[in-house]
Amino acid sequence: MQRIPLIVLVCLVVASVSAQEAAKPPVGFSRSSADALAKYERLVLDTPSPSNAKKWLEALTEVPHVAGTPAEKKVADYVRDRLLEFGLSVETVKYDVFLNHPKQVSLTMTAPSRQELALMEDTYPQDTAASYRGQFPAFHGYGASGVASGQIVYVNYGAPGDHERLKAMGLSVEGKIALVRYGGAFRGLKVKEAEERGAVGVLIYSDPADDGYVRGDVYPDGPMRPASAIQRGSVQYLSIQPGDPSTPGGVPSIDGAARITRDQMKNVPKIPSLPIAHHEAEKLLRQLGGPRVPDGWQGGLPFSYHVGPGGAAVEMKVEMDEGLKPIYNVMATIPGTTDQVLIVGNHRDAWTPGAIDPSSGTAAMLEVARSFGVALKAGWKPKRTIILGSWDAEEYGLVGSTEWVESNAAMLSQKAVAYLNLDSAVSGPDFSASGVPSLRDVMREVARLVPDPRQGGSVGALWEGRAKAAWAQSAPVTLGGPDREFDQQLGRLGSGSDYTAFLDFLGVPATDMGFGGSSGVYHSVFDNFRWMSLFGDPDFVYHQAAAQLMGLLTMRIASADVAPLRFSGYARALREDLDEIRTDVTKRARTAVGAPFLPDFASIVTALADLEKAGVAADAAADRVAASRDAAAAARISDTLIQVERAFLHPQGLPGRPWFKHQLIGPGLTTGYAPWPYPALREAVEKKDTTMFGAEAKRVVAAITAATGKLRQAAAVMPGR
């Protein structure tokens, strides 16, 4: 297929927005309501400034601020004080949750010679921003205490398929210490897989092929990971259940809550693990004997990798200070004129100074809040109450947001229109957004209004141009039908940030967004103010753009006459997800030994056709009601529309994962971060389990049918009745 230059695609996208489309009121608005809001939207565009974002970020990244520490409470108070300065009503919500901090950690190579391996990064004289004040050495959130010693076995990314490949070579990690590299699956699932296969400990390192010198110049001269950088992080089994592991099953960590002990927790490891830098991993990999690694396992270090065992052994000692520790969510509220609510959030805790993750998002959120303070003084009054959440302990396993959601589940189930998330909001210039399909239209509208500060045009036009370029080069084919036309979609949400509890546990429509770029400093001490000032966003203009976009999106959703959830394209997005599974099944069947696994998708295809018709009708009704300015009809249809996503839930949840109740999207069972559309169907495909597929297909059809019923109910709402 001929490749179309990106700039040409961008121009075509911009031109496709006709004058007629531009004249339409925004999604969910009457023309008069949109005109009345325009002056406040202008304030949201004009108020955020690069200088303020820079000021906030410098203060937020002054020291590392791990959840449960006094340094993190200080940052919580800083955010609270800024929100109060902006004129907002603020509350700090405290939870006591199970966390761990390192008391003593060490890693010693015991063969072929004895050598202590470093568990802190190097320092650079030009990097005064990489503060070590209060910095913990390398450890894993929810990592187990213990002493482990043994030979090293290298298992690539530590995925189930990697272990199976090792098994085919006549080897395993049983009784050994697994050395795996970051990438692919969530780190906690790497530990889980190794533990289940008999490993006594796990070391996880960042290979330069993935985010180091193979990818670009390394810090302090470039943005990529230097040899001593360590990726900290949690090893909670995120795809099983997030939140406080001492109160599983949707129970909030409030006073009097029944708690379980660490030994009873099923979503944290029982064997010790540590993150290490590739500078230290190299000392082990160079010594490994055994066969050369399979194709695809070779990393970027300048020698041939071997699997082991033999040649290298280590002793690891991990002693944790663990137990209940305080965390603090800082919540600001802007009252609306109806009883619906919109939640906007960003986490605040960081393993290190955390300039990208999460403080770029926190700085942008502070500018959003400042903009809202200006708009409120100018007379703006949203229809829906806005709750701004500054979450704590996200890094451990989405703890602060999950406990708040579980504590407020009844209210949110009835009243929440959407949850909008910022996490690592800025690491470069390229915008992307993920979310449920019902929020696609309002996201596209808003992104087209925000100017890109460096590349020209709008953020939305560039985003859509990149997406179309990628689509044009992938030659997508729809099974059983004609090749599909380009249709800009939001990316699918997996897990790994604070939207998870809202969407997967309660069925609240959610989005996540940010500006990305080349970065290799994730969860290291080099994710700091200097890195951002030199490589990520030197002029802080993308922090400003992130604030403008989130501010406009929030204002639109909070002020619309009718909740701006649109469903005409929802079924198409779900059909694309289904086609990916069907294509995968077809490919597997071609190479199957014996009878191929060929499940029947017909009932799901039929249900999606009904959903599409109902979505078109509901959108038409929403437009009629919005244009009529009939407040009673707007309230009725809005209340119905926000329940559509809830219809995709099942009270028993996913197989083996009852907390995850959404039937159409969720984190992959073996990926953690990455999404699995139709997660139970995907699991059945992975297991080649025909019985499971049939049972879960019935659940999926029931969920789609329930949502179709809600949409038909919405379509029946008429103005004046």
Residues belonging to the active site: 394
365 vs 363: CA distance, rounded Å: 5
- CB distance 441 to 24 below 8 Å: no
Question: And the tokens for 55?
Answer: 């000021």
CA distances from 657 to 11, 41, 78, 358, 405 (A): 45, 42, 37, 28, 18
Q: Which of 605, 698, 702 is nearest to 648 (CA)?
A: 702
Residues 480-519: b if buried by 16+ CB within 10 A, e if exposed: eeeeeeeebbbebbbbbbbbbbbbbbbbbbbbbbbbbebb
Q: Which amino acid is at 89?
A: S
276 vs 263: CA distance, rounded Å: 26
Compute the CA torsion angle 535, 541, 546, 549 (nearest 10 deg): -150
Q: Which of 15, 13, 34 is nearest to 23 (CA)?
A: 34
Please give the angle made by the CA atoms of 166, 168 and 172, to the nearest 5 degrees: 40
Question: And the tokens for 438?
Answer: 């019902």
**Largest CA-CA distance found in the chain, in angstroms, rounded:** 84
Q: Which of 118, 180, 159 is nearest to 307 (CA)?
A: 180
Question: And the tokens for 217?
Answer: 């110049």
721 vs 710: CA distance, rounded Å: 18
261 vs 270: CA distance, rounded Å: 13
Question: And the tokens for 201?
Answer: 């400990």
597 vs 690: CA distance, rounded Å: 7
Query: 98 — phi, psi (to 5°)?
Result: -75, 120
- CB distance 630 to 468 below 8 Å: no
Compute the CA torsion angle 142, 144, 148, 152 (nearest 10 deg): -30
Q: 3-class DSSP state for residue 325?
A: strand
Please give the angle made by the CA atoms of 145, 150 and 153, to the nearest 5 degrees: 105
Residue 46 CB burial class (10 angstroms; 0-12, 13-18, ≥19): exposed
133 vs 123: CA distance, rounded Å: 13
Q: Which of 621, 584, 581 is nearest to 604 (CA)?
A: 581
Compute the CA torsion angle 60, 404, 190, 507 (nearest 10 deg): -120
* 304 membership: H or E segment, kind and range: none
Provide the sign of the torsion angle of the four alpha carbons 142, 364, 462, 574, taken in this order.
positive
State the helix-helix crossing angle for 602-628 and 570-590, rounded to 10 degrees.
Answer: 160
Distance from the Cα of residue 319 to its chain's centroid: 30
Instruction: State how beta strands 416-426 and 510-516 pair.
Output: parallel
